[in-house]
């Protein structure tokens, strides 16, 4: 069932949210404008909640939708696309039942009280992807990754990475471009919170793990690789576990903003996976970081999209309903710390425009960087109650923001930076765009140094791809 929300109430993006994404087999994409760059060789993978309604029941939070994976393979100026759902155990069970059964981030399980107490949490596999040499991982906050075929997107099952032992594996791993090592974390919830730390080799095989005890049960979504350090900013959001254990509240409803606690910054030695320092600063919340690096004076600098409070959670709860009432501004910030002394040195706003999903050139992760690429809200009166309508490049040297405003009723996903295979100095920015006027989806390719100009190429996708979260690029081997 497709529900169309009147445009007078909200943007046309709601049509993509209400739309049940349709899978499609490999298909060659036609160019609507321009040509595919010669040096674009590899595969784009994207993940996001794409199944948001069953039997007339809409999910309670955007984070509850089942993961849908888009793959676009580029070679010889051609693009072949595939789209498939992740066949998690929960997805298959609910497909067979024709209704929602399990608990989720915002969902309570079905059945009587005793049945709800016994119900499992569904691994929605809907947040991000990690491309390994022989498989693709679909990542989610609260469980292990699912392994998929790089070519067909066939789901192979949960992947233990040869040592997770059931531990949660976050949706935001960081790959060191020099060593190939992959760093990640997961939060274990119990009598007290535990931050599990992981280092894998380039194949994904777990090589090292450690843990740090946390203050309460916080929400940690992302972290920063910065030279010799891993940086975690723990916002003052805490989970009350009792209502969840009794199946009286969802995770979403059990998370409370407690600004008196402040934001805690944890600095971890990346080689030993041991705590270097931990200290409190004024409260803020963040979902995502752009990047971080060590500076010549030994300090660490990192950039992030930053919220003053946790209203963003309400904004995201409203998305699957097709109407947004909550305002959650997210300007772009820079923070500099002394990692050894455990001290905040400075923090300041880089841009007042609300944005999200900041990324950098993958070859610069953890290293000094000049540019961040991110999604932005358009400069309109109702922008804060809309989905993102632009992408931009922020120059950390000059403070200049180069913006690609896609126009009315067009909504891009997170921009992905790709290096040209023939000319590494040339970069491309790829984003999946939903056109609410035409009710179609396209893949747009921009020259990274000319986002304010027209796209280099626009490719037509055969089906509407609902707005998603994160993606990655796997260069051709």
| Residues contacting residue 187 through CB under 8 Å, at least 6 positions apart | 168, 170, 193, 194, 195, 196, 214, 217, 218, 219, 220
Has 73 been labeled as part of a binding site?
no
Has 325 been labeled as part of a binding site?
no
Among the listed residues 468, 475, 415, 435, the one whose alpha carbon sits nearest the alpha carbon of residue 85 = 468
Strand partners, 256: 238
Tokens, residue 76: 């010889």
Give the span between the Cα atoms of 156 and 125, in whole angstroms: 13
The dihedral over CA atoms of 324, 326, 329, 335, expressed in degrees to the nearest 10, equals: -120
Task: Report DSSP letters for 333-376, one per residue.
Answer: EEEEEETTTTEEEEEEEEE-S-EEEEE--GGGTTS--SEEEEEE
Has 396 been labeled as part of a binding site?
no
Tokens, residue 365: 């992760």
Q: How far is CA 463 from CA 16, 22, 67, 419, in A?
A: 11, 7, 16, 27
Tokens, residue 304: 């992030």
Has 61 been labeled as part of a binding site?
no
Give the span between the Cα atoms of 341 and 276, in whole angstroms: 9
- Residues within the annotated binding site for Fe cation? 172, 221, 288, 470
- Residues within the annotated binding site? 172, 221, 288, 470
């Amino acid at each position: 069932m497709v529900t169309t929300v009147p445009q007078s109430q909200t943007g046309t993006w709601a049509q993509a949210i209400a739309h049940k994404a349709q899978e499609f087999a490999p298909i060659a994409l036609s160019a609507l404008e321009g040509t595919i760059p010669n040096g674009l060789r590899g595969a784009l993978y994207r993940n996001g909640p794409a199944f948001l309604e069953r039997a007339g029941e809409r999910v309670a939070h955007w984070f509850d939708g089942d993961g849908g994976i888009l793959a676009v393979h580029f070679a010889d100026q051609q693009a072949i696309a595939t789209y498939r759902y992740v066949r998690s155990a929960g997805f298959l069970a609910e497909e067979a039942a024709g209704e929602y059964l399990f608990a989720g981030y915002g969902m309570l399980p079905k059945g009587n009280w005793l049945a709800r107490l016994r119900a499992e949490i569904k691994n929605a596999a809907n947040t991000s992807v990690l491309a390994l040499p022989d498989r693709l991982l679909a990542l989610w906050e609260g469980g292990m990754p699912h392994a998929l075929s790089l070519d067909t997107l066939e789901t192979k099952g949960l992947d233990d990475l040869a040592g997770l032992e059931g531990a949660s594996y976050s949706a935001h791993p960081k790959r060191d471009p020099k060593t190939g090592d992959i760093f990640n974390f997961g939060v274990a919830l119990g009598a007290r919170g535990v931050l599990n730390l992981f280092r894998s080799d380039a194949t994904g095989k777990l090589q090292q793990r450690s843990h740090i005890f946390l203050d309460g049960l916080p929400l940690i979504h992302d972290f920063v690789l910065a030279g010799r350090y891993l940086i975690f900013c723990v916002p003052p959001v805490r989970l009350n576990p009792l209502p969840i254990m009794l199946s009286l509240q969802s995770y979403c409803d059990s998370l409370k903003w407690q600004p008196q606690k402040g934001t805690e910054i944890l600095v971890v030695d990346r080689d030993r996976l041991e705590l270097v320092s931990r200290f409190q600063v004024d409260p803020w919340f963040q979902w995502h970081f752009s990047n971080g690096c060590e500076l010549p004076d030994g300090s660490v600098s990192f950039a992030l999209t930053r919220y003053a409070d946790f209203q963003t959670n309400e904004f995201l709860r409203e998305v699957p309903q097709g109407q947004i009432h909550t305002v959650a501004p997210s300007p772009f910030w820079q923070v500099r710390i002394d990692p050894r002394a455990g001290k905040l040195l400075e923090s300041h706003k880089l841009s007042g425009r609300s944005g999200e999903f900041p990324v950098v050139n993958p070859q610069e992760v953890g290293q000094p960087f000049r540019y961040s690429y991110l999604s932005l809200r358009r400069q309109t009166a109702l922008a804060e109650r809309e989905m993102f309508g632009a992408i931009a490049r922020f120059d950390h040297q000059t403070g200049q923001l180069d913006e690609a405003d896609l126009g009315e009723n067009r909504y891009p996903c997170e921009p992905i930076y790709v290096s040209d295979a023939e000319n590494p100095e040339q970069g491309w920015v790829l984003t999946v765009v939903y056109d609410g006027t035409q009710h179609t989806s396209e893949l747009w390719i921009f020259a990274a140094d000319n986002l304010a100009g027209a796209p280099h190429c626009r490719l037509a996708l055969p089906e509407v791809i609902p707005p998603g979260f994160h993606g990655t690029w796997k260069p051709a081997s």
